[in-house]
Amino acid sequence: MLPLLVGRMDVPTLLIVAAIGGLAILPFWRYAGESLKSPIAVLVFLELVVGPIVIGRLFSALAIWTYIGAWVCTLGFMRFATGWRDTP
């Protein structure tokens, strides 16, 4: 939201990028932060590495922060709402 608040991004772009970031992690949120031994964990890692590059190329460099913020907020909300915790 910071790029929107300082007037560097318009509202439709913010909403589109935030939706992409939130929807990208939603099906795979349980595998985020897991060791890279499973193909799904590698896919989640690639979402976090390649996703900002694609968003930056399609929208703007400031949209990268919106993508990462939506990705992390969705992950945090899903973990909080379901009571899911990392277990060693």
Give the pLDDT of residue 72.
Answer: 92
Q: Considering only CA atoms, which of 77, 71, 75 is closest in space to residue 50?
A: 71
Print the domain residue range for 26: 2-82
Give the pLDDT of residue 70.
Answer: 92
pLDDT in tens, 8-28: 678 888 889 999 999 999 998
User: Residue 6: pLDDT above 60?
Assistant: no
Concatenate the DSSP letters of all residues of 38-55 into one string.
SHHHHHHHHHHHHHHHHH
The total number of structural domains that make up the chain = 1
Q: Is residue 88 part of a domain?
A: no
Q: Is residue 15 part of a domain?
A: yes
Give the pLDDT of residue 62.
Answer: 83
Interatomic CA distance for residues 63 and 35, integer angstroms: 28
Considering the entire predicted model, what is its pTM? 0.83
